[in-house]
Amino acid sequence: MELSWPMKLRIIAVAAVGTALIYGVAWPLAGASGRLGAIGYNHAVLLAALAFVAGLIGYFVSWPYGREIGILAAPAGLAVWAFRSGTVASVLQLNPTVAQRQGLAASLKFEPILWLVIVAAGFAGVLLGQRIRPSLQLKQTNEEPRSDPSKYLSAVAALAGSAFIAHLLIGKLARDITMPDNILRSVVAQPAIGQIAFAVVVSFGVAAFAVKKLLNVSYVWPAIATVLVTAFSMHTYAKDVPYLAQNWPAVFFDNAAASVLPVQMVAFGALGSVAGFWMAVRYDHWRKHEMK
């Protein structure tokens, strides 16, 4: 089940392209901010354009498997961005009042949609590359055609299931210091960014693996589920802000997922979704061909 060295080198090259364009070019221009709200419209458009170019270049860099590997360019570049973006706790400390924190949570709730658009722009670049020069497609996905109603039901189930699995696992894997609380049962301190990266990648990897095995769907739905996880966690956090602000320092949250910035959720979640999907594909291939 191990990847060959040529495939590993293609993945590394695509990640390098995404990092160079999205982080290397856009990060200084955007003012080194981890929030799209602080970047501004013009820089957000530039970021999407760079993601598109990264996907297009990544497609040709990883040819003839550009369709499968080139999609990693945008989330890989955003992942480096996410590592440099700080933490939710650091932003909360600049917003000490209850009203400010609730407003911040409301603004963060749907910000993953914008980061997901940037990832989608990278995917669009890959699709353009595929139209320019069609590449080989790995025929191990075993995706079967379905009728429209079944297809839509599978998509909804994949979204809901991915969000549930990822939120549950992030709550376990991204826990730092955990303190008991009489009202909330427990509160968790802001984890380090490395722990966030590990927790989100693994959580969405498991979710993508599960929905691929159970519903035979692609990594797209777990990646979109990053929006649902952030929206739900920020919604619950906003409701608990009055109590948290009165009883706990700003570094404590009612759930671990609320301590993850939207860019971190989308970047690491997208990478985990792609990895989990292909692990499921390779696992099926291994069982079919190598266990005989």
Most distant CA atoms of the chain, gap in Å: 63
Q: What is the pLDDT of residues 67-114, one digit of tens each?
A: 899 999 999 999 999 998 889 998 898 888 999 999 999 989 989 999
Please check whether residue 211 is in contact with residue 160, taking contact to mean a CB–CB distance below 8 angstroms: no
Instruction: Tell me the two tokens of residue 240.
Output: 């608990």
Q: How high is the pLDDT of residue 93?
A: 87
Q: How high is the pLDDT of residue 44?
A: 82
Q: How high is the pLDDT of residue 28?
A: 82
Q: How high is the pLDDT of residue 143?
A: 52
Please check whether residue 143 is in contact with residue 284, taking contact to mean a CB–CB distance below 8 angstroms: no
Residue in the structure block whose two tokens are 């079944």:
150
Q: What is the pLDDT of residues 169-219, one digit of tens each?
A: 999 999 889 999 999 999 999 999 999 999 999 999 999 999 999 999 999
Q: What is the pLDDT of residues 235-284, one digit of tens each?
A: 999 999 999 999 999 999 999 999 999 999 999 999 999 999 999 998 88
Please check whether residue 86 is in contact with residue 201, taking contact to mean a CB–CB distance below 8 angstroms: no
Per the DSSP assignment, residues forming a β-bridge with 179 are 187
Q: What is the pLDDT of residues 148-174, one digit of tens each?
A: 678 889 999 999 999 999 999 999 999
